[in-house]
Amino acid sequence: MLRAREMTADEVAAIERLARSRTEPARLVERARIVRQAGQGRPVNAIAEDLHVAAQTVRFWVKRFNAAGLDGLADEPRSGRPATYTPEQVGEVIAAALTKPQVLGLPFGAWTLDRLAAYLHEQKGIAIKRSRIDEVLLAEGLRWRQQETWFGERAALERAAGADPGEAPRVDPAFARKRGRSRRSTPRRRPAA
């Protein structure tokens, strides 16, 4: 019969708190429940049946607790692919994205993912794909937005031509005719037979 070792008062309190928790990860709660029942002297098979786990799982976590205490209930680091980019490189990507290109002496006023990838590769020596840049920025809570639209480009051209910056951009009255008919972006669905 396998039993949990004698626990200190702090360990008992921590196990009870974890076993009743609704906010801790479910696997940690389950492990605490295993140890709590093992500490009460229940047999391995009864614990396994009560918690709907395998007896081998019960033995594993009780032995880990007996050897390492509360720290034994935590997941151990797992092997896997190491991070492709160091935290310093990720910081460089974020810093570059937050800096206006003109401040860096570049001939354009707004970043695109392609421009940012080229700058990072040529100037910083970080070979990073545009899709990965997008992931890094999203993970940091930054949203990429389209900087240049047909309206923005026209407004920029009018400002460059000397239009008053406070004045609303002039709209071409024949724009709709010049643009042509709009096309659907998605094909129509065929009616069901």
Task: Say whether both 13 and 63 belong to one domain.
Answer: yes
pLDDT tens per residue across span 104-134 = 999 888 888 899 999 999 999 999 998 899 8
Q: Is residue 177, in this structure, part of any structural domain at all? A: no
Q: Which of 97, 100, 168 is nearest to 136 (CA)?
A: 97
pLDDT tens per residue across span 34-49 = 999 999 999 999 999 9
Q: Is residue 155, in this structure, part of any structural domain at all? A: yes
Q: Please, which residues have CB within 8 angstroms of residue 122's CB and are 6 or more apart in sequence?
A: none
Q: Is residue 130, in this structure, part of any structural domain at all? A: yes
Q: Is residue 169, in this structure, part of any structural domain at all? A: no
Helices 55-68, 26-39: crossing angle, 10 deg rounding: 80
Q: Is residue 193, in this structure, part of any structural domain at all? A: no
Q: Alpha carbon of 7 to those of 13, 65, 93: distances in Å?
A: 10, 10, 49
Structural domain harbouring 65: 9-73
The first and second tokens of residue 186, run together, are 């998605």
- Specify the range with the lowest mean pLDDT, choosing from 97-101, 133-137, 170-174, 182-186: 170-174
Confidence of residue 71 (pLDDT cuts 50, 70, 90): very high
Q: Is residue 3, in this structure, part of any structural domain at all? A: no
Q: Is residue 17, in this structure, part of any structural domain at all? A: yes
Q: Alpha carbon of 121 to those of 40, 52, 92, 106, 139: distances in Å?
A: 61, 53, 11, 14, 21
Q: Is residue 51, in this structure, part of any structural domain at all? A: yes
pTM, rounded to two decimals: 0.46
